[in-house]
Amino acid sequence: MYGAVLWADRCTNRALIWCEDHGDLAFFEGEPANMSDASTFEEGDFVAFKIRDGRGMRLAFEVKVVTSDEYPRLARDLRGAASKDVAAASPAAPERKILPFVAPTGTRGRDAAISRNTGNSLEKLRQSR
């Protein structure tokens, strides 16, 4: 699989990779004794790797750099997009209201029967409250 490194920490030999299939992110955790794995890639690198499921997440292994610094702003751009989403969902946003569908008068045939049945059901629902 291919992906972009969103975060890498050389001290702990860990990284987080955005996968090409846009599924769950892949977590890389190299052996602390083998620091050469983590020192070969950094945030923004385009990498090839293998994945397996473990500990309730995708785990990346055999990570190899395809292109260094291919996506240098990707992690920052994603953080910016996330903060915009939070701002858009603020309480200041107008509340959406659901309006009932009312069929136009003068409908004929099957549409009229559906309209009558729907209207009767809505009226029964209102009366039961």
pLDDT, tens only, 33-58 = 555 544 678 999 999 999 999 989 99
The pLDDT, as a whole number, for residue 122 is 52
The pLDDT, as a whole number, for residue 33 is 58
The DSSP 8-state label assigned to residue 80 in this structure reads H
pTM of the model: 0.60
**Token match 């987080």: residue?**
16
The pLDDT, as a whole number, for residue 115 is 46
pLDDT, tens only, 56-79 = 999 999 999 999 999 989 888 888
The pLDDT, as a whole number, for residue 108 is 54
pLDDT, tens only, 7-35 = 999 888 899 999 999 999 999 998 765 55
Domain segments of the chain: what residues? 2-74, 100-129
Q: Which two tokens stand for residue 108?
A: 């004929």
- Look up the CATH number of domain 2-74: 2.40.50.140
